[in-house]
Every structure is written in structure tokens, then in C-alpha cells.
């Protein structure tokens, strides 16, 4: 059973496109993330053998337990992609029924499926039946405020045979606006018929909030997304609270070292050009609390080699 691979309460790095790369997952794992997900990949792209998509879902065994996340909108595509993913032997296959982006949801994949719950159930069941690996689902609370909420279809999802349900507490229509509705997540978790682990997601901004929501809603795990970008140590901080210790914040010098390690790994694995592009999403996050970071940020954004960026990061240590 998938839940046997997880701790009793799991802290997870939420999947994020172009963020939760192999290298960043490794760093978050080092800081104590219990469960990892790859970035999502298109089922159609996997079937077409698109190399870039396979690169996004490669992982090392250090990252286990890990789920490879796929999205798609037809049974044929999802089933065939899941069977290909199965050969890569992750611990589980996660179906993305949560992405609200027009180019995905507009085609009936991601959270677009929430407009047609019977189809969501049928496609999920088809994937579960097509592979031996455990299958999980990550979804949102509903299509919009007027449509069927997850409290009404979570049992049907469980009955497909999935072994984990992760819920982002927003509707598709909300995109990232408003607040995540954790009451609904809590109601799914506290439905006595729900036997599979239920993980909550949305707006966890600190280790303290993660622990508060764990206790208030009783979820089996929490996925941390945006708050883990540039703060991989948030997982260590959650663990400090779980074990009754004080939360410690890394020093500026330590943060710079983590960022340097991240950049170095990215450069080694993905090449300097792509590393420098991806790292632009991270610099402000790594150094959000630093007062006079702005001029360094400009220089980092303009750096055209890894040694140059590393040199700037070394200087930040002395701010």
C-alpha cells in the first residue's frame, strides 16, 4: 500500500512546473521533505517520446517516495502515458486534475475535468486499472463555487482505487485568487468513509501554519508549494516543530550556500543556459528578507555565466 511508504504525517513538496526539478527536489529532500512529486508532464508528450518531458520526470532513488505527475484529457492518452511512466518505476503515479491554466484546463485536462465529474471518475479508474503501481490524484475543491464540491465526489474517487488524494483548497475558477478553503479539505478528511490518505494544500506560508493546519484539520499530509520556493528549509522547520524544538532560520550565508548548491546542480545537469534561466525564478525567494538585495538581484538576473552568478551569491553572504 502506498500509505506504508509515507510517515504518519507527510510533508510534501507540491509539484510546480519549472520549479520542482530533479535538483530542487533533491535539495528539499535533504531538508526533510517526506514525499516528492515531479513537475507535471503531458501524457501526449510522453507518448510522443518527447525527450524534454522524460527529462522532467527523471529522479534518483534518494528522492523516494516520489510520484510522477501526468496530465491529459483522454483515456487513451492517460492510460498509455501511465504505462510508460510505470516503466520508470516511481513509487506512484499522480494524475493532475488541478491545473487551472487555460491551455490545459481549457482542453479538459487538469481542473477542466471538474466540469465533468463522471468523466473524471472514469478516466481515473481507467488509469488505476491499467497499471500495477499505486495511483493518486491531485485536484481542487470544485470547478467553481456553484458546482459539485470535492466533499461530494471524494468517495467516488476513492472507489476508483486511488491510494492518495491531495486537495488544493481553491476552485478552478479562482486560479490562485482568494484563500484556500481548508474547511472543505477537513470535511473530506473527516468523512468516516474515506480510508485513503488525504493531503491538504494551499496557502501554507510557514512551518507554524503547517502545524496549525495539521492539528486543526487532521490531514494525513500537507503539500507546500510557493512557500517552499527558495525556502527548502521550511521542511526542516516543520520537523523542528513536530519534534517540539524551536524553529531556526538559516543565516544569510547558509541561504547563499543553498542557492549556490542549487545553481551548481542545475548547471551540471541541465547546462548553464537553462540553469541561469530557471534560477531567476528563485533569487528573490532565497533572499526575500534581505533589505538591500535589489542591486544584487539585478546583477544576478544579468549574469551570463554560472561562475559570475556564484561570485555575486558569495558577495551576498557579507551583506
Ligand X SMILES: Cc1cc2nc3c(=O)[nH]c(=O)nc-3n(C[C@H](O)[C@H](O)[C@H](O)COP(=O)(O)O)c2cc1C
> Could you tell me if 104 and 71 are in contact, meaning their C-beta atoms sit under 8 angstroms apart?
yes
Asked if 186 interacts with ligand X (CB under 6 A), we say no
Contacting residue, 6, 9, 31, 40, with ligand X by CB under 6 A: 40
CB of 228 to ligand X, least distance (A): 7
Pairing, β 66-71 against β 92-97: parallel
Q: Which residue is nearest to ligand X (CB)?
A: 225
Distance of alpha carbon 301 from alpha carbon 309, whole angstroms: 9
Answer for which of 43, 73, 77, 96 binds ligand X (CB under 6 A) is 96
Each residue 45-84 as x (binds ligand X by CB under 6 A) or -, in order, gives: ------------------------x---------------
**Helical axes 306-316 vs 272-279, angle rounded to 10°:** 40
Phi and psi at residue 209, in whole multiples of 5°? -65, -35
Q: Which is nearer to ligand X, 251 or 288 (CB)?
A: 288
Locate 276 and state its grid cell.
Answer: 541561469
Q: How far is the CB of 295 from ligand X (least distance, A)?
A: 26
Question: What does the DSSP 8-state code read for residue 112?
Answer: G
- Owner of C-alpha cell 484529457: 73
Residues in 219-238 that interact with ligand X by CB under 6 A = 224-227
Neighbours of 77 (CB within 10 A): 20
Q: Considering only residues 143 through 172, tell me which ones interact with ligand X, judged by CB under 6 A.
A: 168
* Nine cell digits for residue 49: 517520446
- Give yes or no for residue 188 binding ligand X (CB under 6 A): no
What's the min distance (Å) between Cβ of 98 and ligand X? 5
Q: Which of 65, 72, 98, 186 binds ligand X (CB under 6 A)?
A: 98
Q: How many CA atoms lie within 13 A of 128 on its CB side?
A: 17
Among 2, 10, 12, 15, binds ligand X (CB under 6 A): 15
Task: Give the integer Cα–Cα distance in Å for 46 and 310.
Answer: 35
Would you count residue 201 as binding ligand X (CB under 6 A)? Answer: yes
Start-to-end CA distance of the chain, whole Å, equals 49
Q: Among all residues, which ones are annotated catalytic?
A: 99
Cα 101 off chain centre by: 16
- Cβ proximity to ligand X: between 220 and 316 the closer is 220
Stretch that binds ligand X, among 58-66, 93-101, 142-150, 260-268 (CB under 6 A): 93-101
Q: Give the Cα separation of 241 and 229 in Å (integer).
A: 20
Torsion of Cα atoms, 182 then 187 then 190 then 193, to 10°: -140
With cell 510522453, the residue in question is 46
Using the rule CB under 6 A, give the single segment among 10-18, 59-67, 155-163, 248-256 that binds ligand X.
10-18
Contact call for residue 19 and ligand X (CB under 6 A): yes
Q: 3, 5, 17, 247: which one contacts ligand X (CB under 6 A)?
A: 17
Q: Is 29 in the site for ligand X (CB under 6 A)?
A: no
Binding residues for ligand X, rule: CB under 6 A, are 14-17, 19, 39-40, 69, 96, 98-99, 138, 168, 201-204, 224-227
Amino acid at each position: 500500500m502506498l500509505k506504508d511508504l509515507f510517515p504518519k504525517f507527510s510533508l510534501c513538496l507540491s509539484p510546480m512546473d519549472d520549479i520542482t526539478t530533479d535538483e530542487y527536489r533533491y535539495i528539499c529532500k535533504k531538508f526533510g521533505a517526506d514525499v516528492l512529486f515531479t513537475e507535471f508532464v503531458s501524457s501526449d508528450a510522453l507518448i510522443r517520446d518527447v525527450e524534454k518531458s522524460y527529462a522532467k520526470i527523471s529522479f534518483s532513488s534518494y528522492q523516494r517516495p516520489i510520484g510522477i505527475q501526468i496530465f491529459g484529457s483522454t483515456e487513451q492518452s492517460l492510460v498509455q502515458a501511465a504505462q510508460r511512466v510505470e516503466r520508470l518505476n516511481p513509487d506512484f503515479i499522480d494524475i493532475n486534475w488541478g491545473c487551472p491554466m487555460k491551455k490545459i484546463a481549457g482542453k479538459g485536462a487538469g481542473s477542466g475535468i471538474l466540469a465533468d465529474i463522471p468523466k473524471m471518475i472514469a478516466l481515473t479508474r481507467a488509469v488505476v486499472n491499467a497499471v500495477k503501481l499505486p495511483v493518486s490524484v491531485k485536484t481542487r475543491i470544485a470547478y467553481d463555487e456553484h458546482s459539485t464540491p470535492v466533499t461530494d465526489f471524494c468517495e467516488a474517487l476513492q472507489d476508483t482505487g486511488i491510494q492518495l488524494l491531495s486537495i488544493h483548497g481553491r476552485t478552478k475558477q479562482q486560479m490562485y485568487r482568494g484563500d484556500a478553503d481548508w474547511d472543505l479539505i477537513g470535511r473530506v478528511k473527516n468523512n468516516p468513509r474515506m480510508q485513503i490518505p488525504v493531503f491538504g494544500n494551499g496557502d501554507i506560508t510557514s512551518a507554524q501554519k503547517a502545524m496549525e493546519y495539521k492539528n486543526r484539520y487532521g490531514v494525513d499530509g500537507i503539500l507546500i508549494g510557493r512557500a517552499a520556493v527558495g525556502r527548502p528549509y521550511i521542511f526542516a522547520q516543520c520537523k523542528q516543530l513536530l519534534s517540539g524544538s524551536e524553529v531556526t532560520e538559516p543565516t544569510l550565508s547558509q541561504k547563499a550556500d543553498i542557492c549556490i548548491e542549487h545553481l551548481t546542480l542545475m548547471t551540471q545537469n541541465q547546462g548553464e543556459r537553462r540553469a541561469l534561466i530557471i534560477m531567476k525564478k528563485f533569487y528573490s525567494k532565497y533572499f526575500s528578507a534581505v533589505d538591500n538585495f535589489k542591486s544584487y538581484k539585478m546583477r544576478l538576473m544579468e549574469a551570463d555565466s554560472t561562475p559570475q552568478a556564484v561570485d555575486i551569491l558569495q558577495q551576498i553572504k557579507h551583506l
